Amino acid sequence: MQVFKFGGASVKDANGVKNLVNVLNITGYKNTLVVVSAMGKTTNALEVVIGNYFKNKSELQSSLQEVKKFHNAILLDLFENEQHQVFKKVKNLFNELTSFLNTNKSPDYNFVYDQVIGFGELVSTTIISEYLNDVGLKNNWLDVREYIKTDNYYRSANVNWEVTQEQISNQFKKKVLNITQGFLGSDSNNFTTTLGREGSDYTAAIFAYCLNAESVTIWKDVPGVLNADPRYFENAQLINKISYREAIELAFYGASVIHPKTLQPLQRKEIPLHVKSFLNPEKKGTTVCKEVGLDPDIPCFIVKKNQVLISLSSLDFSYIVEDNISEIFKLLHLYKMKVDVIQNSAISFSVCVDNIYQNLDQLLQHLKAKFKVTCNENVSLYTIRHYNEAAIIQLEEDKEVLLKQLTQETMQVVTK
Ligand code: ADP
Ligand code: ASP
Ligand code: MG
């Protein structure tokens, strides 16, 4: 069994879908599960739809129309015959979405988000499955929500491994080509849940774990894992091999090429993860496996933009110790802040967070009742794994450093 994951960038248009066929033909597709994300930037476009549903009803229809138009153009490119059943299937999915928006009574943003956002993956896999069938790659379309079961922590649901394992063991047919949605699951009431943005890599890992797959391959628009994001760093170098542990560290610090939750399940069963270019499927790319640390052994740079640095001190100059800190963390959890770095002294506490869920104002209000608060928005967090003097100098050049932290293997700076 091999598990493949194709992300949004790989299927951003009709040519991307045709290229996916090309990749499958080169690699072989027996005993293969293909996990696919929403096409191109569909998830972002659906986030706009959700925003309009709550705050800007007059724009709701036009934003939804954009999403339909985008997919319709791809359909027309891929299928000559407009009587093809795929047109009806996609239309039905959008009707289902509209019907949800018209009848929903829940004011819970996170719940509504998950019910709406999942249509990106449902539509993309429907189109791709039909296209594969048409060009002779007979396949089985699976609704992932019948396999991956989660709690109802909408937008960042936690997998119920026991039930998921049971569902997969009982229903999944190996030996054929299967295709399913990344990113989605469902709760015990069968409402759609999601595993967090960019969560499709994780979906591939969940299946691989439960199926005892031989390998997972995630197909990307880069040659593999590089020692830096090529969008922000010149001369990024390919990592040939990297250990699970090292890759977990990179993903944790924000190397967005692999979703951070992906690696643990693979590591537990020692299933190798290949990161390869969908444009050069014959090339080796990167292998994440047990043995090596990092090959070649070079400093790795990670940047997270648009972070928030919050600094707290007590209003009465009392120490910031366990009880205060535990209260701060409760609030960070309540407002779903992703904590990047913390630093504390006797009377101050700084934390750099990723405001993924846009809850910063509420958090600050809550904190200000207890602490003196300063907040720097739009800061960048740079991390160097396996830093050396030259790497630090290169990084700090023309940047204002707000916070700096060094451990044996990792150096982090927050800059303005
Ligand atoms: P997907 O289509 O699967 O969602 P992503 O866009 O999430 O793919 O991931 C690929 C992107 O990750 C690359 O285009 C690259 O800009 C970015 N990236 C960040 N860090 C790295 C890294 N260390 N190595 C390679 N790519 C990286
Ligand atoms: N489509 C989802 C997203 O854009 C999941 C994924 O691509 O992994 O976040
Ligand atoms: Mg992605």
Q: What DSSP string describes 20-80?
A: HHHHHHHH--TTEEEEE--STTHHHHHHHHHHHHHH-GGGHHHHHHHHHHHHHHHHHHH-S
Q: According to DSSP H, which parts of 270-317 are helical?
A: none
Judge if 137 and 21 occupy the same domain.
yes
> Which residues have CB under 6 Å of ligand 2?
7-8, 37-38, 43, 120, 182-183, 197-200
Burial of 282 (0-12, 13-18, 19+ CB in 10 A): exposed
| pLDDT given at position 349 | 94
Q: Is residue 266 part of a domain?
A: no
Question: Which atom of ligand 1 is found nearest the CA of 201?
Answer: 3
Q: 8 in ligand 1 pocket by Cβ < 6 Å?
A: yes
* Total length of the chain: 416
Mutate to test the pocket of ligand 1, among 183, 256, 303, 384 (most ligand atoms within 8 A of CB): 256
Say if residue 293's pLDDT is above 90. Answer: no
Q: Is residue 129 part of a domain?
A: yes
- The pLDDT of 252-270, averaged and rounded, is 93
Domain hosting 396: range is 300-415
Q: By three-state DSSP, how is residue 370 classified?
A: coil
- The pLDDT of 82-92, averaged and rounded, is 97
Better-scored residue on pLDDT, 356 or 3? 3
Judge if 408 and 314 occupy the same domain.
yes
Domain count, the chain: 2
Closest listed ligand to the CA of 121: 2
Give the Cα separation of 124 and 17 in Å (integer).
10
Judge if 22 and 115 occupy the same domain.
yes
Judge if 57 and 192 occupy the same domain.
yes
CATH number of domain containing 393:
3.30.2130.10
Q: 239 in ligand 1 pocket by Cβ < 6 Å?
A: no
pTM over 0.75: yes
Say if residue 323's pLDDT is above 90. Answer: no
At which of 201, 220, 239 does a domain end?
A: 220
- The pLDDT of 149-170, averaged and rounded, is 97
At which of 170, 193, 220 does a domain end?
A: 220
At which of 220, 249, 266 does a domain end?
A: 220
Judge if 352 and 204 occupy the same domain.
no
| pLDDT given at position 316 | 85
Q: Is residue 291 part of a domain?
A: no
Judge if 208 and 312 occupy the same domain.
no
Q: 226 in ligand 1 pocket by Cβ < 6 Å?
A: yes
Q: According to DSSP H, which parts of 212-321 are helical?
A: 244-253, 263-269
CATH number of domain containing 111:
3.40.1160.10
Give the Cα separation of 170 and 184 in Å (integer).
19
Q: What are phi and psi of 132, to 5 degrees?
A: -60, -45
Q: List Cβ neighbours of 41 (8 Å cut-off, separation of 6 or more).
A: 8, 12
